[in-house]
Amino acid sequence: MSSKPTVLVTGASSGIGTVYAERFASRGHDLVLVARDATRLDRIAERLRRETGVAVDVVQADLTNSADLASVETRLREDGRIGILINNAGAALLGSFVDQTPQRMADLIGLNVTALTRLAGAVAPRLAASGEGAIVNIASVVGLAPEFGMTVYGATKAFVLYLSQGLHLELAPRGVYVQAVLPAATRTEIWQRSGADVNTMSGVMETGELVDAALLGFDRRESVTIPPLPEAGQWDGYEAARTAMLPNFAQDHAAERYRPAA
């Protein structure tokens, strides 16, 4: 058993989740891998045990299933070895808002928002009590860009960013690091599952490069990491403009520009 904190990774059977598992295993962390596909998980776990010597537990769970989600929450609450949560499981939903069915939207929100929030909520009190640990939430640049047209998906990722920033403000003073990672298009199975052919797309980052960049941000303790963004000053300017508005929000009356002309 490693002396380093165990890392629980959701969506660990492919793509970004698998690479996170590989990278943390190579750093000597034991793992808890969570996904729906037990066969894939077992194969990945066996390989990582053999290659790195770390302990790897496999938890088959569909995070849109209430019983499965509750079991992972229980593991996060009760297993004191788990010190890092990689909240990676998610799905995409292509197409215009008016073409979506209520069930598809509800399923997407259930996974991208509800499950992610509940898992963070399960582990955060224990980490805060111990004064250490980390929560990494995988968001997306789409959450900053309604122009990209993935309205419901982008809204779920905007939620993840806001949640992460709020948790950072609450938990950083208590020793818990919270990171939001905002990928752009990345070569994962999320595209195939949503009905798109990633091979026809341009500007697609390889998964290993994405995770390595995110981990560099993790090691630097960035609260928001945007691997494809060339200039950090653009994000800093965005945040400066946002925070400059905050003192103006608490007003007794509507702004002059919203008052009837005399």
Per-residue pLDDT for the chain (262 aa), expressed as one digit of tens each?
A: 678 999 999 999 999 999 999 999 999 999 999 999 999 999 999 999 999 999 999 999 999 999 999 999 999 999 999 999 999 999 988 888 999 999 999 999 999 999 999 999 999 999 999 999 999 999 999 999 999 888 999 999 999 999 999 999 999 999 999 999 999 877 776 656 656 666 666 668 899 999 999 999 999 999 999 999 999 999 999 999 999 999 999 999 999 999 988 7
Q: Please give the pLDDT value at position 195.
A: 60
Q: Please give the pLDDT value at position 155.
A: 96
User: What is the DSSP code (8-state) at residue 257?
Assistant: G
Name the residues annotated as catalytic: 153
Beta-strand ranges (E) seen in the chain are 6-10, 31-35, 56-60, 82-87, 134-138, 177-181, 224-225
- Provide the 10 A C-beta neighbour count for residue 91: 17
Q: Please give the pLDDT value at position 3.
A: 86
User: CA 85, CA 72: separation in Å to the nearest integer?
Assistant: 11
Q: Match domain 6-232 to its CATH number in 3.10.150.10, 3.30.70.2190, 3.90.600.10, 3.40.50.720.
A: 3.40.50.720
Q: Is residue 14 classed as helix, strand or coil in its secondary structure?
A: coil
Q: Please give the pLDDT value at position 190.
A: 66
Q: Is residue 153 classed as helix, strand or coil in its secondary structure?
A: helix
| Beta pairing, strands 6-10 & 82-87 | parallel
Q: Please give the pLDDT value at position 202.
A: 61
Of the candidates 152, 135, 155, which has an alpha carbon nearest to the alpha carbon of residue 143?
155
C-alpha distance across the termini of the chain, in Å: 74
Q: Tell me if 77 sits within 8 A of 103, measured CB to CB.
A: no
Break the chain into its structural domains and give their ranges.
6-232
String of DSSP letters for 74-119: HHHHH-TTEEEEEE-------S-GGG--HHHHHHHHIIIIIIHHHH
The DSSP element (H or E) to which 25 belongs, if any, is helix 15-26
